[in-house]
Amino acid sequence: MIVSDTGPLAVLFKAKLLFIRGIIGLFAEAKKKSIIKSVKECIDELLEVGYYLDDELIEEVLCALQKKD
């Protein structure tokens, strides 16, 4: 999906009212709110069913989350 620089989504994004994030970002937020116990377990479950996630991205996110804990 291509979003114009002046359309309504762009305005919301620039105003920080719209945040674009992927599934790993949602897992991180869920962990922060104690909705899930482990981001890694959720990622592992996705990988088991065939979902593709970049290995470097996974490592970066898990390292960043460990530094916050």
* CA–CA distance, 24 with 57 (Å, rounded to integer): 9
* CA–CA distance, 18 with 66 (Å, rounded to integer): 26
- With tokens 């088991």, the residue in question is 48
Q: Where are the alpha helices (DSSP H) in 1-69?
A: 8-14, 23-32, 39-48, 55-68
pTM flag (> 0.85): no
- Which residue type, as a one-letter code, is found at position 35? I
Q: Is 37 helix (H, G, I), strand (E, B) or coil?
A: coil
Q: Could you report the per-residue pLDDT of 7-47, keeping only the tens digit for each?
A: 665 665 566 654 557 888 888 889 989 999 999 999 999 99
**pLDDT above 60: residue 2:** no
Q: Is 36 helix (H, G, I), strand (E, B) or coil?
A: coil
